[in-house]
Amino acid sequence: MNFTKFPRRGYLQGETPIEPMKNLSKALGGKVNLYVKRDDLLPGASGGNKTRKLDFCIADAIEKGADTIITCGAIQSNHCRLTASWAAKEGLECHLVLEERVKGSYKEDGSGNNFLFELLGVKTKRVVEGGSNMMAEMEKTAAELKAAGKKPYIVPGGASNAIGALGYAACAEEMMNQLNTMGLTIDHVVVPSGSAGTHAGMVVGMVGTNAGIPVHGIDVSKPAADQEPGVYKLAEETAELLGVKGGIERDAVKCYGEYVGPGYSLPSDAMVEAVKLFAAEEAILLDPVYTGKVAAGLIDLVRKGAFAEGSNVLFLHTGGSPALYAYLDTFR
Ligand SMILES: *Cc1c(COP(=O)(O)O)cnc(C)c1O
């Protein structure tokens, strides 16, 4: 894969670690060997997966002459936190449109990421009702800023367009190079599937590196039948942009919808168990909205024997721990 034709800001500062999770593997019966790729340790305030995508998206914005970034997310959005973080570093203004997906859940003085938006110098936050057309809302903000003489650039939700998904195609390549150096064979990769850039990019990267490792996407908001077509479409667009030959096979995109629980960002018992288990066994902090549910899926698949005995399974940790502090009641 050739990423040199795309502008990039160089936010990564090297590879994120791949670590064995021996204690957790043992706690789950010792039949599979679990590994974790620590994208929670990526640079950008409090780390997380959006840094890989923003490395490409913010570069595109700067190349197009933008002085202002507009993006959107849920009220505890890690994506909004990292966009604000990189905008601050680059000297760009950042404006957020926040979707109140759970009615009444927005608090002006909220904790977690919502507090960090403030600290990172976000210029404006506008909260809109759940189900709003977020692109249309961001375009409204863009029109106002243009009228005020600014040069705004819209980063879509989760930075999940083909440009952003390049970040995870590049992550797949980084991971394969690490595995080659370590002499470690991975049989399955488990990733989150939300706004889909992570999942789609990883699928493209697996094809582009000829890795042949199946990618399991754990949904955090939708049933599999609703999630898979969107992931597949974005994977095709990303493969086309990157020039990955032969395209993407439809069955390379596999989603599991049964770990969403009561809904996006709403706690489930399995999520709480997963967060507690990762912290106690591996000293790894997950989050209640994304990685806690993905880990719940991983744990259930291991317990059900979905991975053959002796398999090496890699969990992609995409970050999100600041949201823990907005969910204290759930864990205590
Ligand atoms: C955004 C996010 C995800 C989901 O990634 P997508 O590319 O949106 O599917 C997973 N984990 C965390 C912590 C996130 O912030």
Confidence of residue 246 (pLDDT cuts 50, 70, 90): confident
* Ligand 1 atom with minimal separation from the 165 CA: 7
**Ligand 1 centroid from CA 319, angstroms:** 8
Query: Would you say residue 142 has pLDDT above 90?
Result: yes
Among 49, 284, 287, say which to mutate for ligand 1: greatest number of ligand atoms within 8 Å of CB. 49
Q: For atom 8 of ligand 1, which residue has the closest CA? A: 195
Question: Hey, which residues are catalytic here?
Answer: 77
Nearest to 244 by CA among 274, 204, 279: 204
Q: What's the mean pLDDT in 24-37?
A: 98
79 CB within 6 A, ligand 1: yes
Among 76, 195, 204, 253, say which to mutate for ligand 1: greatest number of ligand atoms within 8 Å of CB. 195
pLDDT, residue 108, reads 87
Alpha carbon distances (Å) from 78 to 55, 123, 190, 317: 15, 17, 20, 13
Lowest mean pLDDT among 15-29, 106-120, 170-184, 270-284: 106-120
The per-residue DSSP string of 185-241 comes to ---EEEEEESSSHHHHHHHHHHHHTT----EEEEESSS-HHHHHHHHHHHHHHHHHH
**Ligand 1 centroid from CA 147, angstroms:** 33
pLDDT, residue 102, reads 86
pLDDT digits (tens, 9 = 90+) for 103-138: 888 998 889 999 999 999 999 999 999 999 999 999
78 CB within 6 A, ligand 1: yes
* Ligand 1 atom with minimal separation from the 287 CA: 13
Highest CATH level, class, for 18-48+160-331: alpha beta
Confidence of residue 263 (pLDDT cuts 50, 70, 90): very high
Domain with CATH 3.40.50.1100 in the chain: 18-48+160-331, 50-159
Q: What's the mean pLDDT in 69-81?
A: 97
Among 46, 134, 219, 290, say which to mutate for ligand 1: greatest number of ligand atoms within 8 Å of CB. 290
pLDDT, residue 224, reads 98
Cβ contacts of 24-31, under 8 Å, gap ≥ 24: 24/277, 24/278, 24/281, 24/282, 27/277, 27/281, 28/299, 28/302, 28/303, 29/302, 29/303, 31/302, 31/305, 31/309, 31/310
> Residues of the chain with pLDDT > 90: what percent?
96
pLDDT, residue 105, reads 87
* Ligand 1 atom with minimal separation from the 82 CA: 15
Confidence of residue 36 (pLDDT cuts 50, 70, 90): very high
User: Taking the CB of residue 141, how many other CB atoms lie within 10 A of it?
Assistant: 20
Query: Would you say residue 96 has pLDDT above 90?
Result: yes
Highest CATH level, class, for 50-159: alpha beta
Give dist(CA 296, CA 220) in Å, integer.
11
**Ligand 1 centroid from CA 220, angstroms:** 9
193 CB within 6 A, ligand 1: yes
320 CB within 6 A, ligand 1: yes
152 CB within 6 A, ligand 1: no
Q: What's the mean pLDDT in 45-71?
A: 98
Give dist(CA 330, CA 313) in Å, integer.
29
Farthest CA pair distance, the chain? 61
Q: For atom 4 of ligand 1, which residue has the closest CA? A: 194
**Quick one: tokens of 97?**
């449109």
pLDDT digits (tens, 9 = 90+) for 208-221: 999 999 999 999 99
Query: Would you say residue 257 has pLDDT above 90?
Result: yes
Q: What's the mean pLDDT in 56-60?
A: 98
Name the residue with tokens 């590879």.
15
Lowest mean pLDDT among 61-70, 96-105, 304-313: 96-105
Give dist(CA 240, CA 235) in Å, integer.
9
196 CB within 6 A, ligand 1: yes
Give dist(CA 48, CA 320) in Å, integer.
6
